[in-house]
């Protein structure tokens, strides 16, 4: 079966098992490796992407669910990589190993779209599904605040 | 398909961020010969050091166009080594970071020790790396001086050029490179290091994160991102019990799954296990999904072997029984038995800490290609030389026929020091005749881990009538890492260096013993290793002594450590101290430094005023990797978990620091990981198999479970550099247990603390 998806603004036709998780379609078939595998069970958020603007866990989303829809990955978040979150992430030195950060940023981007000035509690709530083993959480929170044009807060 | 995906190019991104292109180039391993798509490192460009220019050692190359290539020989796993080592070399050289390209070294003995472990990248290589840069500088200066017919001492190297201030002449490094290359490489004694004040970027507060832009755009290349033509993906069913093997299997259902190409039986590992592949049944498929489905469809009967008896709850009792009996004494001062006989009071307790699994966000993965008797491996490895050696051993070929390329690591924490996953990929690539990526799932990572040792301790302190500690008796039992290499069933002298033998005690009678503990799983390094449980036991007991006396824990910590002094082996009561490979003259056991981090952290946390804000405060301190760290945590009641860490203060004396911001990030991360370890951590076995399987039951802290404020205090120092990556972790656990006691009155001596709160 072929699946048609608009990926980062470009129409793609994939000839894959419709049950294949979107994660593996992105990584193995389309070569978009910015989206990461961390758990395969929607527990860690490393694979977070946008499906029609909503955050989904690509590791448990069958590719058929994206048929006829639009997917945005970290590679397509900003045409020149200068999304306010990406800038804040670099300026505040958020990443340690960096592996989870694509998922963190995609989740935070959806949060800021829905809530341009989130409170710390709202940040914690929205980001609760994104694990970071290096423990960059305080800087993640600060960078979201910075990208939102709010004071970074003490950390 | 219409057209290729829109790609963020590096240049457009860097322009967007207004950062230098050259200074931030990724320096991917220059790989073999074929195009590899976006994910893989690009087609091989000739390594710059193969071209003309100055190349006095394997670490530095100055090209005739002035571009400076610096090799990072240590693996980047989040500690920021790629943002640190090149800066140190460039500062010594006088290079302009905008003209520096960083290349990641392959596994090769010519770089010296590449085992990125033990918090040693800066600690062990600080001087060597400075000489690497200074040697190139000396040669460039000599070339310029010869050209100008002036004395080299009158020249300076800065801004990627050699200048002669008296005559205001200047020649760029590029212009000098070929002339310098014709000069003999000077011996170390003829190379002068710069005075510390001339290292312009070292220890500046905010060095740029070299790979930052790549990390945030999805362009950074980790293990699984390497793609080779015709590559198959392998997912392996490994024996659930260590030492087990396949009794029989049926792969017919697996082979029917579309995309599955082959099923390969892998030989069972033999004792001692070392870094061997684990054995089992591998399913090779066109994509990861098919390989996973194929594995799920395998029908395997396992022969579990002897370790089927391993059960964590009974093993804990066994370890406790072990520390209730005498072990091998390694530390002896005075007469402990006589001192206890006359003690007015004894405070004693038993502490247990379960296995922990590193669980880096990127599970183990490796790619290999075997052709013409040679094997090439790409892996997120902390230890590329060990990977090279194990691959050679597994394939029965010489190390010269093996190349190991190091990708970025999505976390390591000790797991990726082991070469098992690299060797699996190599074995399967040879079997399959095409390149293979071995992909570990999260379940594989948790089930087939080299766990941190499980531990029990019994610590007794004898107090005189005034409450002063006059006797200290410490017993610890844990299966040591050595058990993966040789038959051993108890920790040795070198294992007890981690917090037991190097503990500064102002106590006249001390004994420390290592007690029996047999290994039933593979034991391995885990960020800060045995220090985790030793700091937990010691830091908890000191707090218990304080409360037994009704004294301020801070005062008791300082009293037990005693006055500022360095301690000899005789003072410590030990024959020798491994001291993390450092000489005691350079890195003594320094009670003064341990005191100072306690004094500083308690001042930052307003420890004396702590009773007023309704939070529970806990303090602990620890020496590890020759660094001194102290932590204060403030906890508050929490609806879901009963207790939550609200604020943290961490003070570290790590000697000279190269990259302050990365050192701070390591401290922040240490607090988070320390909370995960002590509050949530714990891997348990039943019937020899791991009970947990994913982040659902092998919990690590989420954003709302860690303090919003983590205050980091780096002690300013010109001393020799000490460890940074690991020493932040050990004091966090006991500080948390002590804070929980302060808030709730509940003394929890068993990790995970969360379970104790609900017990």
Look at residue B251 in the predicted model and tell me its pLDDT: 98
Report, as an integer, the average pLDDT of B4-12: 32
pLDDT exceeds cutoff 70 at B188: yes
- pLDDT means per 10 residues, chain A with 155 residues, are 95 97 98 98 98 98 98 93 96 98 98 98 98 98 97 76
Q: How far apart are CA B73 and CA B85, in angstroms?
A: 9
Write down the pLDDT at residue A1.
75
The C-alpha of B640 sits at a distance from chain A's nearest C-alpha, in angstroms, of 14
B contacts of A97 (beta carbons < 8 Å): 76-78, 360-362, 408-412
- Going along chain B from its start, the domains and CATH numbers come out as 10-217 (3.30.365.10), 223-306+364-439 (3.30.365.10), 312-357+450-758 (3.30.365.10)
pLDDT at B17: 33
Instruction: Note the pLDDT of residue A153.
Output: 80
- Residue A12 near residue A30, CB atoms below 8 Å: yes
Read off the pTM.
Answer: 0.95
Closest CA to A33 of B37, B212, B443: B37
pLDDT at position A155 is 62
Q: What ipTM, to 2 d.p.?
A: 0.98
Is residue B450 classed as helix, strand or coil in its secondary structure?
Answer: coil
Query: What does the pLDDT average to over B241-248?
Result: 98
Task: Give the pLDDT confidence of B55-85 residue by residue, as tens digits.
Answer: 999 999 999 999 999 999 999 999 999 999 9
Q: Mean of the per-residue pLDDT values for chain B?
A: 93
B11 in A contact zone (CB under 8 Å)? no
pLDDT at B262 (0 to 100): 98
Q: Is the peptide bond before B747 cis (omega within 30 degrees of 0)?
A: no
Give chain A positions within 8 Å (CB) of B39.
Answer: 27, 31, 33
Average pLDDT rounded to a whole number, residues B598-606: 98
Q: Is B485 on the interface with A (CB under 8 A)?
A: no
The arithmetic mean of pLDDT across residues B502-520, rounded, is 98
Whether residue B442 and residue A98 make contact (CB cut-off 8 A), yes or no, is: no
The CA distance from A3 to the nearest CA of chain B, in Å, is 11
Residues of A in contact with B413 (CB under 8 A): 133
- Extents of the domains making up chain A: 2-76, 84-147
Mean pLDDT calculated for residue range B445-464: 98
Q: Which CATH class is domain A2-76?
A: alpha beta
Partner A contacted by B434 (CB < 8 A)? no
Q: What mean pLDDT is predicted for residues B105-121?
A: 97
pLDDT score, position B393: 98
What percent of chain B has pLDDT above 90? 92
The answer to whether A73 contacts B218, with C-beta atoms less than 8 Å apart, is yes
Q: Is the pLDDT of residue B27 over 80?
A: no
pLDDT for the residue A80: 80
pLDDT at B281 over 80: yes
pLDDT band at B32 (very low <50, low <70, confident <90, very high): very low
Residue A61 with chain B: CB contacts under 8 Å = none
- What gap in Å lies between CA B640 and CA B700, rounded to an integer? 15
Long-range contacts of B689-693 (CB under 8 A, 24+ apart): B689/B240, B689/B241, B689/B304, B689/B447, B690/B240, B690/B446, B690/B447, B690/B449, B691/B312, B692/B357, B692/B446, B693/B442, B693/B443, B693/B446, B693/B447
What is the widest separation between alpha-carbon atoms in chain B?
Answer: 87
pLDDT at B378: 98
The residue among B229, B225, B494 whose CA lies nearest residue B366 is B225
Quote the pLDDT of residue A79: 72
On whether any CB of chain A is under 8 Å from the CB of B234, the answer is: no
State residue B358's pLDDT score.
Answer: 98
> Average pLDDT in the B347-369 region?
98
Topology adopted by domain A84-147: DNA polymerase; domain 1 (1.10.150)
For chain A, helix, strand, coil in percent to 5 are 35, 15, 50
CB contact (8 A) between residue B706 and residue A138: yes
Partner residue facing B218 (CB), from A29, A75, A155: A75
User: Are A135 and B6 a contacting pair at CB < 8 A?
Assistant: no
Both tokens of B49, joined, read 């050091």
Judge whether residue B492 has pLDDT over 50: yes
């Amino acid at each position: 079966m072929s699946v048609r998806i608009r990926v980062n603004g470009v129409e793609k036709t994939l000839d894959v098992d419709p049950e294949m998780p979107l994660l593996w379609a992105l990584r193995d078939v389309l070569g978009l490796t910015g989206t990461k595998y961390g758990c395969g069970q929607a527990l860690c958020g490393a694979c977070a992407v946008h499906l029609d603007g909503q955050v989904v866990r690509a590791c448990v989303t069958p590719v058929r669910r994206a048929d006829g829809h639009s997917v945005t990955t970290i590679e397509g978040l900003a045409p020149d990589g200068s999304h306010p979150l990406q800038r804040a992430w670099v300026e505040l030195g958020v990443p340690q190993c960096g592996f989870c950060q694509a998922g963190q940023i995609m989740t935070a981007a959806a949060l800021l779209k829905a809530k341009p000035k989130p409170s710390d509690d709202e940040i914690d709530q929205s980001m609760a599904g994104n694990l970071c083993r290096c423990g960059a959480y305080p800087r993640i929170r600060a960078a979201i605040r910075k990208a939102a044009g709010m004071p970074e807060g003490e950390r | 398909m219409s057209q290729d995906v829109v790609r963020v190019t590096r240049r457009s991104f860097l322009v967007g961020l207004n950062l230098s292109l050259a200074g931030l180039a990724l320096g991917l391993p220059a790989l073999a010969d074929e195009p590899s798509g976006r994910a893989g490192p690009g087609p091989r460009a000739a390594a710059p050091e193969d071209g003309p220019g100055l190349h006095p050692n394997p670490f530095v190359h100055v090209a005739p166009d002035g571009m400076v290539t610096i090799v990072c020989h240590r693996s980047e796993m989040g500690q920021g080594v790629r943002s640190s080592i090149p800066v140190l070399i460039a500062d010594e050289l006088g290079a302009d970071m905008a003209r520096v390209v960083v290349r990641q070294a392959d596994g090769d003995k010519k770089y010296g020790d590449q085992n990125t472990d033990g918090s040693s990248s800066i600690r062990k290589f600080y001087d060597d790396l400075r000489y690497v840069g200074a040697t190139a500088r000396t040669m460039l200066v000599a070339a310029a001086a010869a050209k100008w017919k002036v004395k080299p001492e009158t020249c300076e190297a800065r801004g990627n050029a050699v200048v002669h201030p008296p005559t205001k002449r200047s020649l760029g490094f590029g212009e000098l490179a070929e002339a310098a290359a014709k000069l003999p490489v000077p011996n170390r004694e003829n190379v002068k290091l710069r005075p510390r004040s001339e290292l312009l970027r070292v220890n500046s507060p905010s060095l740029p994160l070299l790979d930052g832009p790549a990390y945030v755009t999805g362009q950074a290349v980790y293990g699984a991102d390497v793609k080779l033509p015709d590559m198959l993906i392998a997912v392996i069913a490994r024996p659930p019990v260590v030492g087990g093997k396949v009794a029989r299997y049926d792969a017919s259902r697996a082979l029917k799954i579309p995309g599955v190409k082959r099923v390969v039986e892998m030989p069972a590992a033999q004792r001692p296990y070392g870094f061997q592949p684990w054995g089992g049944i591998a399913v090779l498929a066109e994509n990861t999904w098919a390989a996973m489905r194929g594995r799920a469809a395998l029908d395997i009967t396992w022969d579990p072997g002897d370790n089927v008896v391993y059960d964590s709850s009974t093993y804990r009792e066994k370890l406790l029984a072990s520390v209730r009996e005498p072990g091998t004494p390694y530390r002896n001062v005075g007469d402990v038995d006589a001192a206890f006989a006359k003690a007015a009071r004894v405070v004693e307790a038993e502490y247990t800490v379960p296995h922990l699994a590193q669980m880096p966000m990127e599970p183990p993965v490796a790619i290999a290609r075997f052709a013409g008797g040679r094997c090439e491996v790409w892996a997120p490895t902390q230890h590329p030389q060990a990977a090279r050696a194990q691959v050679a051993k597994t394939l029965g070929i010489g190390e010269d026929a093996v190349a190991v390329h190091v990708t970025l690591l999505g976390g390591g924490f000790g797991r990726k020091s082991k070469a098992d996953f690299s060797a699996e990929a190599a074995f399967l690539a040879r079997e399959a005749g095409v390149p293979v990526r071995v992909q570990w799932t999260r379940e594989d990572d948790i089930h087939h881990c080299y766990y941190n040792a499980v531990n029990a301790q019994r610590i007794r302190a004898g107090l005189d009538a005034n409450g002063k500690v006059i006797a200290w008796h410490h017993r610890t039992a844990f299966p040591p890492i050595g058990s993966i290499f040789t038959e051993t069933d108890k920790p040795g002298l070198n294992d007890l260096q981690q917090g037991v033998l190097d503990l500064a005690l102002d106590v006249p009678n001390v004994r420390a013993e290592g007690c029996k503990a047999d290994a039933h799983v593979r034991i391995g390094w885990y960020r800060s290793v045995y220090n985790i449980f030793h700091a937990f036991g010691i830091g908890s007991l000191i707090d218990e002594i304080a409360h037994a006396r009704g004294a301020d824990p801070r005062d008791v910590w300082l009293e037990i450590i005693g006055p500022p002094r360095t301690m000899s082996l005789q003072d410590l009561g030990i024959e020798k101290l491994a001291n993390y490979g450092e000489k005691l003259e350079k890195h003594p056991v320094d009670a003064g430094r341990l005191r100072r981090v306690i004094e500083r952290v308690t001042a930052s946390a307003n420890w004396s005023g702590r009773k007023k804000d309704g939070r529970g405060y806990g303090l602990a301190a620890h020496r590890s990797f020759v660094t001194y760290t102290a932590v204060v945590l403030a906890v508050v009641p929490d609806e879901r978990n009963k207790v939550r860490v609200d604020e943290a203060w961490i003070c570290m004396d790590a000697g000279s620091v190269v990259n302050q911001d990365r050192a701070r990030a390591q401290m922040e991360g240490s607090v988070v990981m320390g909370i995960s370890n002590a509050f949530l951590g714990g891997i348990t076995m039943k019937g020899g198999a791991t009970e947990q399987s994913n982040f659902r039951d092998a919990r690590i802290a989420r954003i709302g479970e860690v303090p919003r404020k983590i205050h980091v205090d780096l002690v300013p120092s010109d001393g020799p550099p000490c460890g940074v990556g690991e020493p932040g972790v050990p004091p966090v656990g006991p500080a948390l247990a002590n804070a929980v006691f302060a808030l709730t009155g509940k003394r929890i001596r068993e990790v995970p603390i969360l379970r104790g709160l609900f017990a």
